[in-house]
A and B are shown apart, each in its own frame.
Chain A
Amino acid sequence: MKTRRTLLLALCVWGTVGVWAQSSEAGGEALVVIVNKSNPGSSLGLSDLRPVFQTTKTSWSSGGDAIPFNLPFDNGLRQEFDRVVLGLEPDRVARYWQDRKIRGGARAPKQVASVGAVLAAVAANPGAVGYLNAGEVNGTVKVVAKIVGGKFSAP
């Protein structure tokens, strides 16, 4: 019995260390911008993407509604995305949207709870655009830009 517990304990420690190691490695993973597969564009520039997430631009240049999906404010991916695309630190982002509301301006992008939800929403909506880690992309969406090390670039 004692040996079994020891084995299990060792297994848990190994697993935890593995998780930590993976997290550290994944910290440098590319963040990618995804759109619905029906979107005709193959890449998005910063000047195209920024106003969409500022909700001042509500349609794609190629036509159709542009529907941005955001992660929650405290999500690390969201903060990195806001920093690179909107050019705003988290505290400024909160103030930006607060000011927008007071002015009676357009609503902020729709917010979903998790990366899985972003993936599902972008896959389900023709005009949708979102972002997630490169490793989480699957065949249901199309990558149109990436952010690596705080730099925005084509996919």
Chain B
Amino acid sequence: MPRTHVFHTGFGFAVPVALICALVTPRVFAQAQAQAQAQAQAQAQTQGDATSPADAPPAAEAPPPAPAAAATPSAAELATLRAELDELKKSLNEVKEQQTAAEGSGSPADDSATGGEPLKIYGFMDMGAQHIWVNPDSAVSHVFQVNNTSFVVGNVNLYFDAQPIKSFRGLLELRFTNAPLGDIVNYGGLAGTFQRKNTFSYDPGGTAINAPMWGATVILERAWIEWNEHQALKVRVGYFFTPFGIWNADHGTPTLISLALPQFIVQRWMPIRQTGVMLYGNAFAGDWEFGYAGTLSNGRQEISNYNFDNNFGLGARVYARRETGRVNTTFGLSYFTGKTLENQIDVVASPTGINGIDFVDTTKVAYTEHVMGADFSLDLDATRIRAEGVVRRQVFRPGQRTAGDLLFAPGSFAPDQWQETAYVLVANQLPWFGIEPFLWGEAQAQPGILGDLVLVGSVGVNVHFNSAIQWKNQVTRAAFTNWLYTSPYDTSLNNVSSVYSRLVMAF
């Protein structure tokens, strides 16, 4: 490909000659062949052959041309050839100019008068196998699908990236899942009859009336529209990932180094996504980029898509980043706060109410939370280091606490609490075959009936076959221990070991 550009701008003499030769040579040979045919026909005519042209022997079978045709070209013939070459050279230059003009006018910048760009569709998916070991005597082993090796479809995510007009962009990300098929919806025994969720149906569009199918959930990962006219102030509206730390931004399997997730993400210490408005922007000072993001939202959406009152969730992030390719560094601080409510509305009989009924609105759960995070990211050649620390403070309104541990402490309520966690992940891509081993350590402290400190150690190997395909493998061990409090249970009973393997494709 680069050679092509060299051709365009070389000395401008030998290049066209070579190209013209390629064009002229067949033409000259064709000329010679036509000349031979003409001579054969002329010979036939001069011999007084009375046959019609249709009866004449095919030109290809004509006798070889007379020796005179192969004579040394005269100066006149050479001049004619040179003129033909000049003509072809001129034509070639005209074609090149037209092509260049066409490519320029067809560039994306001129796609439309609105400055829009084509819709882009891309995504990623991962699938593989995993095994999670838990002590068979642990309650966890009966509640979750563990102690079996299982093939899994991990993530199947599709992005629709639209920019129909300059300065406005929309992004929709969907994840396709098999959920909730097979989930336990009732444990049986004291809880009633054991039952799994079944999404079975007959295919309403099938050619056979008894063709089975199983429905599944499509998850809205994000859906937003943004106005990005100004670098220092962009406005995003819709359903977006909370700008908090590294992990929640990296988000997807091809981008994340580890397959296993840190517990503050799994347990959603801050809302992973929010519905609302986000302002963000950046500025530069030398090699350093300084950026910010501020969010105003409904807060947590685990309970509802709606805001139950006018207490909005507020979030902020600031970062400093230097990306020079070989050395990339990011320092970030994130914060989220919000008030979360769970309201219950009872319909009660009331002689004074309209139509004899009334509504009693009760707040069952109410808490305020503050979540603070600090993150550090460093790429140094083939080495990648990621570290995050998060502290969360949760304070309940008296009498409006969430239920405690339903399995190990039924009837209890969650306390006001501090939660702290930190992890460090170090990966290094070796010079062979895209192999990237990594180490990950995580500590998480929070009040809990199974121990108040969880330590996680993990080792993994990612193989980057190319930019689109990775094979990710990881072994993880999580240990439950006592730190500030003493658990009434054997905390080690719930230790978990896991092995994951995923083939990942980005497209």
Contacts and interface: CB of A to CB of B under 8 A. Distances in A.
A99 B323 CA distance: 14
A75 B1 contact: yes
A22 B6 contact: yes
Interface stretch (B177-185, B193-201, B282-290, B345-353): B282-290
B100 A120 contact: yes
A125 interface: yes
A119 B100 contact: yes
B8 A136 contact: yes
A123 B284 contact: no
A12 B466 contact: no
Interface string A95-127: 100110111101100111111110111011100
A102 B124 contact: yes
A18 B124 CA distance: 47
A148 interface: no
B18 A95 contact: no
B9 A133 contact: yes
B107 A117 contact: yes
Interface size range of chain A in the complex: 35 or more
A25 to B, nearest CB: 8
A92 B324 CA distance: 13
Interface stretch (B24-32, B204-212, B442-450, B482-490): B24-32
Contacts of A51: 284, 289, 323
Contacts of A102: 124, 250-252, 254-255, 506
B70 interface: yes
Contact of A18 (B17, B28, B173, B467): B17
B73 A15 contact: no
A26 interface: yes
Contacts of A16: 18
Contacts of B120: 107
B2 A76 contact: yes
A45 to B, nearest CB: 9
B5 A50 contact: no
Contacts of B282: 56-57
B2 A75 contact: yes
A114 B19 CA distance: 19
A10 B69 CA distance: 20
B103 A117 contact: yes
B5 A136 contact: yes
Given A111-B108, A119-B100, A120-B101, A59 B231 contact: yes
A43 interface: no
Contact of B231 (A18, A57, A123): A57
Which residue of B3, B10, B325, B506 has the most chain A CB atoms within 10 A of its CB atom? Answer: B325
Interface size range of chain B in the complex: 35 or more
Given A15-B18, A95-B464, A103-B251, A116 B117 contact: no
Given A11-B17, A91-B467, A116-B100, A69 B251 contact: no
A8 B24 contact: yes
Interface of B: 1-11, 13-15, 17-22, 24-25, 28-29, 32, 65, 69-73, 77, 99-101, 103-110, 117, 120, 122, 124, 159, 161, 163, 169, 171, 173, 222, 228, 230-231, 241, 249-252, 254-255, 282, 284, 286-287, 289, 323-326, 464, 466-468, 506
A67 interface: yes
A116 B103 contact: yes
A50 B289 CA distance: 11
A77 B1 CA distance: 9
Given A54-B323, A115-B5, A47 B464 contact: no
Nearest 7 A/B pairs, CB to CB: A87-B325, A120-B104, A18-B14, A76-B2, A116-B100, A15-B18, A94-B467
Given A16-B18, A26-B9, A75-B2, A124 B230 contact: no
A98 B18 contact: no
B175 to A, nearest CB: 12
A72 interface: yes
Contact of A124 (B25, B109, B161, B324): B109
B17 A14 contact: yes
A128 B110 CA distance: 12
B66 to A, nearest CB: 11
A2 interface: yes
Interface in A64-97: 67, 69, 72, 74-77, 86-88, 91-92, 94-95
Contact of B163 (A3, A27, A67, A107): A107
A7 B110 contact: no
B107 A72 contact: no
Contacts of A1: 32, 65, 69-71
A23 interface: yes
